[in-house]
Chain A
């Protein structure tokens, strides 16, 4: 059984079949990318995996457990973290607070001990902080620790979202267009980080991406979608050369 599996996943919005019987499986330790033209259903699949949308049909399983009916807030504790296409940071909080919130799935302190801020809460807070600092060091965010997100430039916010996802200690990381809005240099950095996340941290990556240079650089396998249906699956080179994919992007 694969690490992560989507089986005949479908969702309807009214009369529109946004995702139509998509099946794929992700092996542990691989970078799996979903590509496709606008409206192909890529982000919808992410929202299905992170349980924000309820699938009309199909099953999702992660590491041997069925997660089709798991509540959305339980997903992080299972080890699945995500970033968002249109950055969803906590804008009026500092970068540090944003990352600390990502430790929420590992929260052990109770309400009343927090109310009195008992020594145990302080100890746990410092443990969380140590975990957060690892992500800060990994992604070079030291200088922005105490800045409010609203005051940070777009590129840094994008990295902050990646850091926030890492702070949940995920085993599967969902990256929704990690390079959108980044310049060439930042995109190259992103490619290195994604490789490091897989190789050094051992995290499996499921990614939606448009930038084919990034896709080719980091992906082990690529799934191409069009109108919610899978049209090709294989290595980046195979998918890029696939006639269906070329037709989906260029018409004809």
Chain B
């Protein structure tokens, strides 16, 4: 067990807690930089998806995990960012300018959606944002002069200051850079007054207000900042997917982002990254299992001579091939996580870490929260 002695206030506002944790992150950075050299092109591409999803996850984490405002419409912001970026690129704007414009447009749309959020909370806000997402999806399919509707819209590979990012490996580094940037900026906000105001709004609006937090301004700010990050993710998403069509940005994608932050662990930036790993890698894992399970179980049936194993393998394989299985598995996992581990993957990670750092003194009761019924709901 490691004890940290604090000798200056700076220690509580540093980016990394201490040199030990800073060196762990350094190691992680080295691993992330070395990854494309070690993996095949396919896995580099899949990891890039993790980064893009993680930027989106950070975006939604700010809103849901830190400010306590639920959004079921974040696919719309992703789409706005993607379409805006693709449109500006098509019209010959430089990449950086196009990206900045796309982010600004998404920010503005975030502000607009944020306005009703000032009067709504919980399920009502979720429904309002859902409606917004449906409207935006309709706009994508109807506004053909800009989006080309269902004919789709090709997106050029990024060329930044004359440097082309053509192959998957260079694009991987670009996405990694933006993810680190997004995490750093968000972490900065969270350790300054703005982030504290968001957390305060999440936990008690009335107390936040009495301490001087202007609810309208800080809620709009959370929406705008969240939308800006989602716009950034959208621009990268556009490059990654290479061809935009309105039916990409559906409600299911919004739900996937919500799943990401809940499974990752609400109220932590680690959770956004863990959740992104989960959401981005589950489909390829299912695809791999779909082929490998029947094969390996057929092998097992041959070697052991028990035909039943092969039959079961065949059944599992067929089941995984059914349409909608992926969504079903996502849903099942969401339910299980909410029931069994409300703090998500990050919560599990904290427990494992505590287990090792206090070994052999770990008490499972450390994380048990006692129920309290003290807070007044009267003033909501």
Residues of A within 8 A of B (CB): 47, 50, 52, 71-77, 81-82, 84-93, 96-97, 100-105, 107, 109, 111, 114-117, 121-122, 125-126, 128-130, 150-151, 154, 164, 168
Of chain B, the residue at the smallest CB distance from A47 is B379
**Interface 0/1 of B200-212, CB less than 8 Å to A:** 1011101111111
Beyond known contacts A85-B376, A97-B199, A117-B191: 17 more, CB 8 A cutoff: A50-B210, A74-B212, A92-B199, A93-B199, A101-B193, A101-B200, A101-B208, A101-B211, A103-B193, A104-B197, A109-B192, A114-B189, A114-B194, A117-B192, A122-B10, A125-B9, A126-B13
Q: Which one of A89, A105, A117 lies within 8 Å of B203 (CB-CB)?
A: A89
| Smallest CB separation, A171 vs chain B (Å) | 14
A71 partner residues in chain B, CB cutoff 8 A: 214
The listed residue with most B CB atoms (<10 A of its CB), out of A75, A77, A84, is A84
With a CB–CB cut-off of 8 A, which chain B residues contact A122? 10, 13
Q: Does B374 belong to the interface (CB within 8 Å)?
A: yes
B7 within 8 Å of A by Cβ? no
**CB–CB A96/B197 < 8 A:** no
Among B13, B211, B374, contact of A102 (Cβ-Cβ < 8 Å): B211
Partner of A114, one of B188, B200, B202: B188
A47 to B207, CA, bound (A): 11
Q: Across chains A and B, which 6 residue pairs bring their CB atoms closest together, nearest first?
A: A105-B212, A76-B212, A90-B203, A114-B192, A86-B376, A88-B207
Q: Chain B residues in contact with chain A, CB under 8 A? A: 9-10, 12-13, 185, 188-189, 191-197, 199-200, 202-204, 206-215, 221, 267, 369-370, 372, 374-376, 379
Q: Please give, as numbers and ranges, the residues of chain A lying within 8 Å of B196 by CB-CB distance.
A: 93, 97, 100-101, 104
Overall SS of chain A's interface: helix
Q: Are A115 and B210 in touch, CB under 8 angstroms?
A: no
* Cα–Cα distance between A121 and B15 once the two chains are bound (Å): 13
Cβ of A73 and Cβ of B188 under 8 Å apart?
Answer: no
Separation of A92 and B209 alpha carbons in the complex (Å): 17
10 contacting pairs across A/B (C-beta < 8 A): A47-B379, A73-B214, A107-B212, A109-B192, A111-B221, A122-B13, A125-B192, A126-B13, A150-B372, A168-B212
Instruction: Note all chain A residues with C-beta closer than 8 A to B372.
Output: 150
Which residues of A sit under 8 angstroms from B267, Cβ to Cβ? 92
| Most chain B CB neighbours (cut-off 10 Å) among A81, A82, A117, A129 | A117
Contact yes or no, B188 A86, CB < 8 A: no
B374 touches A126 (CB 8 A): no
Chain B's nearest CB lies how many Å from the CB of A11? 14
Query: Would you call B212 and A90 a contact (CB within 8 A)?
Result: no
B residues less than 8 Å from A150 (CB atoms): 369-370, 372
Best-buried of A47, A72, A88, A117 by chain B (most CB within 10 Å): A88
Task: Give the residues in chain B near A117, CB-CB below 8 Å.
Answer: 188, 191-192
Tell me whether A52 and B379 are in contact (CB under 8 A).
yes
A152 to chain B, nearest CB (A): 10
